[in-house]
């Protein structure tokens, strides 16, 4: 995730070309932020106008937007749901309570900010909103403002395929989250095994990492061919019987 905050001392310590490039980049990001649309998406309830008025808020424009959607240049309307699912649409920030938290599939959704205590399957489904695979997206980001880690561990113990372990809800509940040191060690071991596996088949993982252009493409093809090799001995067809 790229930061939208640029330290002032950065521009002062750069040469003119880099300074100009930084200013252009910042200008593009500021323009992107200014064109970004936001909307509140909440279920309608009886007496909501009077309820919000007590807080000096007028919910009517928000309710109209939720019902009618955004107006397009040609005068047509587009629903908030459809607009939010389009990567190129400027509607990029949705403030929700219960709607869209579960069962709402947006692969390009990258960030989820939680300020509401969630539990069990609702929590698991909510954080999964930002975990869909999408082109150009490396990972989802969950920003927790209310401390859901304990609830997340309980939910994972329940829904992560561990049978009945952790269902008691006690303090001795099993934590399915492995220490990051253990995970990094396992990752390093897996990379080492992949490197040896490819080397035995005439391919190089280092070439894929270090080469560029056509040479890197050739190294990827060689690794792919090596990975597709079968360890089974070639089958020999029995000789056909004479006619």
Tokens of 27: 């200008």
Residue-wise pLDDT tens digits, 82-98 = 998 888 888 888 888 87
Q: What is the pLDDT of residues 47-88, one digit of tens each?
A: 999 999 999 999 899 999 999 989 888 889 999 889 988 888
Q: Which two tokens stand for residue 233?
A: 């001995």
Which letter does DSSP use for residue 232 in this model?
Answer: S
Distance CA 105, CA 78 (A): 18
Cα distance between residue 77 and residue 65, in whole Å: 10
Residue of 107, 85, 87, 75 lying closest to 41 (CA atoms): 85
Give, for 156, the enclosing helix (H) or strand (E): helix 149-159
Q: What is the spatial distance between Cα 125 and Cα 67, in angstroms, rounded to a whole number?
A: 25
pLDDT in tens, 142-201: 888 887 777 777 777 776 654 444 444 445 545 555 677 888 898 999 999 989 998 988
User: What does the pLDDT read at residue 129?
Assistant: 79
C-alpha 21 chain-centroid distance:
29
- Residue 170: DSSP 8-state: S
DSSP 133-197: --TT----EEEESS--HHHHHHHHHHHSS-TTTT-S-STT----PPPHHHHHHHHHHHHHHHHHH
Report if pTM > 0.85: no
Distance, in Å, from the CA atom of 204 to the CA atom of 195, rounded to the nearest integer, reads 7
Return the biggest CA–CA distance within the chain.
Answer: 98
pLDDT of 3: 27
């Amino acid at each position: 995730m790229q930061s939208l905050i640029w330290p002032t001392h950065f521009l002062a310590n750069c040469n003119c070309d880099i300074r100009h490039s930084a200013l252009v980049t910042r200008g593009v990001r500021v323009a992107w932020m200014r064109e970004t649309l936001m909307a509140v998406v909440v279920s309608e309830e009886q007496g909501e106008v009077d309820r919000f008025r007590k807080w000096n808020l007028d919910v009517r424009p928000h309710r109209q937007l939720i019902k009618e959607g955004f107006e397009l240049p040609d005068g047509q309307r587009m629903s908030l749901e459809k607009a939010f699912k389009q990567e190129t649409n400027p509607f990029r920030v949705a403030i929700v309570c219960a709607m869209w938290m579960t069962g709402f599939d947006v692969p390009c959704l990258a960030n989820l900010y939680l300020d509401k205590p969630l539990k069990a399957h609702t929590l698991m489904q909510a954080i999964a909103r930002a975990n869909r695979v999408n082109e150009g997206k490396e990972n989802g980001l969950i920003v927790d403002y209310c401390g859901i880690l304990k609830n997340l561990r309980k939910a994972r113990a329940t829904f992560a395929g561990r049978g009945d372990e952790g269902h008691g809800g006690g303090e001795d509940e099993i934590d399915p989250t492995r220490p990051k040191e253990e995970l990094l060690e396992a990752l390093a071991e897996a990379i080492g095994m992949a490197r040896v596996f490819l080397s035995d088949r005439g391919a190089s993982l280092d070439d894929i990492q270090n080469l560029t252009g056509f040479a890197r493409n050739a190294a990827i093809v060689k690794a792919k061919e090596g990975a597709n090799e079968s360890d089974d001995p070639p089958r020999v067809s029995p000789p056909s019987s004479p006619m």
